[in-house]
Amino acid sequence: MFTLTSENINVESLKKTITNPQSGAFVSFEGWVRNHNNEKNVIELHYEAHEKLACQLGTQIMLSAQQKYSINQAICCHRIGALKVGEMAIWIGVSADHRQAAFLACEYILNETKANVPIWKNEHYTDGNSGWVEANI
């Protein structure tokens, strides 16, 4: 499942949806807004997305991860809108029978999402300027 939200990401709720007795492993990733990038001081980010296309491509990534790594379930939730330093921008959770599949699938989902899902990041700096940032894998 791939979702976009303008609200704070509810990790406990998402984690509960993929917890199951079939899985012996769970891996998650949290991406937070940091206070710097490319030697500039960041005060906030604004994420924009082509929501329909982002969800379609995100869902394809999730299905691909499930087939490629034999995982049981996976969720990726990405924030859109304005985020302050320290807020969570993305959360990925993967459950699988074994840890290696969960780790690999989690990294795959993150990298594919950053590279292929139409979500754009506009950083706002302490000097009053802002700038669009390309995805860094």
Among 35, 96, 31, smallest CA distance to 69 is for 96
What is the structure's pLDDT at 33? 97
What is the structure's pLDDT at 135? 63
Tally of domains in the chain: 1
Cβ proximity of 84 and 44 under 8 Å: yes
pLDDT, tens digit only, all 137 positions of the chain: 999 999 999 999 999 999 999 999 999 999 999 999 999 999 999 999 999 999 999 999 999 999 999 999 999 999 999 999 999 999 999 999 999 999 999 999 999 999 999 999 999 999 999 999 876 55
What is the structure's pLDDT at 92? 98
Q: Which range marks the domain in which residue 89 is found?
A: 2-133
What is the structure's pLDDT at 134? 75
**CATH number of the domain where residue 51 is located:** 3.90.1170.40
Q: pTM of the predicted model, to two decimals? A: 0.95
